[in-house]
Chains A and B, each alone.
Chain A
Amino acid sequence: LPSTYFFFSIEEMSKHHFLGDTELMVLLAVVRLDDNAYGVPIAQELLKLTGREMALGTIYAVLDRMEQKAYVTSVLGDPTPERGGRAKRYFRPTPAGLRALRTTRKALINLWSGIPLLEGRYT
Chain B
Amino acid sequence: VNTTTPPQTAIWLLRHVCPGDNDALTGDLIEQWRDCRSNRWFWKQVVIALGLGLAPHLTYATVATAMQWFLWQTIDRLTLISPLPWHALPWPWSMLIFESRNTAVLNLAALVVLAVALRIAATFHWRYVLRTGAIAFTLISIGHYLPIAFPTLLLRHEVPDAGMMRVVLPPLALTLSMFGAFLLSAWIGCQTRQRSKLAA
Contact A83 B27 (CB under 8 A): yes
- B6 — which chain A residues lie within 8 A by C-beta? 84
Check B158 for interface membership: any CB of A closer than 8 A.
no
- B44 — which chain A residues lie within 8 A by C-beta? 55
Contact A40 B31 (CB under 8 A): yes
Interface size class of A (residues with CB under 8 A): 20 to 34
Most chain B beta-carbon neighbours within 10 Å: one of A39, A65, A84, A89:
A84
- A88 — which chain B residues lie within 8 A by C-beta? 24, 27-28
Task: List A residues 57-72 near B (Cβ within 8 Å).
Answer: 57-58, 60-61, 64-65, 68-69
| B45-53, B80-88, B100-108, B134-142: which lies at the interface | B45-53
Check A76 for interface membership: any CB of B closer than 8 A.
yes
The answer for the CA separation of A119 and B74 in the assembled complex, in Å, is: 57
Q: How many residues of B contact A (CB 8 A)?
A: 27
Known interface pairs A55-B48, A86-B23, A87-B23; A39-B122 also in contact (CB < 8 Å) = no
Check A21 for interface membership: any CB of B closer than 8 A.
no
Contact A84 B25 (CB under 8 A): no
- A55 — which chain B residues lie within 8 A by C-beta? 44-45, 48-49
Closest to B22 in A: A60
Contact B27 A56 (CB under 8 A): no
Contact A83 B28 (CB under 8 A): yes
Task: List B residues 63-108 near A (Cβ within 8 Å).
Answer: none
- Which of B29, B48, B122 touches A65 (beta carbons < 8 Å)? B122
Most chain B beta-carbon neighbours within 10 Å: one of A79, A83, A87:
A83
In the complex, number of A-B residue pairs with CB atoms less than 8 Å apart: 72
Known interface pairs A56-B45, A82-B31; A64-B122 also in contact (CB < 8 Å) = yes
Check A18 for interface membership: any CB of B closer than 8 A.
no
Known interface pairs A40-B28, A84-B27; A57-B121 also in contact (CB < 8 Å) = no
The answer for the CA separation of A80 and B34 in the assembled complex, in Å, is: 13
Closest to B50 in A: A57
Least Cβ–Cβ distance between B47 and chain A, in angstroms: 9
- A64 — which chain B residues lie within 8 A by C-beta? 20, 122-123
Check B30 for interface membership: any CB of A closer than 8 A.
yes
The answer for the CA separation of A118 and B27 in the assembled complex, in Å, is: 43
Contact B45 A39 (CB under 8 A): no
The answer for the CA separation of A57 and B24 in the assembled complex, in Å, is: 11
Contact A38 B28 (CB under 8 A): yes
Show 11 A/B contacts (Cβ-Cβ < 8 Å), sorted by A. A55-B49, A57-B25, A57-B46, A57-B53, A58-B48, A64-B20, A64-B123, A83-B27, A83-B28, A84-B27, A86-B26
**B interface residue numbers (CB < 8 A to A):** 6, 11, 20, 22-32, 34, 44-46, 48-53, 121-123
**A interface residue numbers (CB < 8 A to B):** 38-40, 55-58, 60-61, 64-65, 68-69, 76, 79-80, 82-84, 86-89
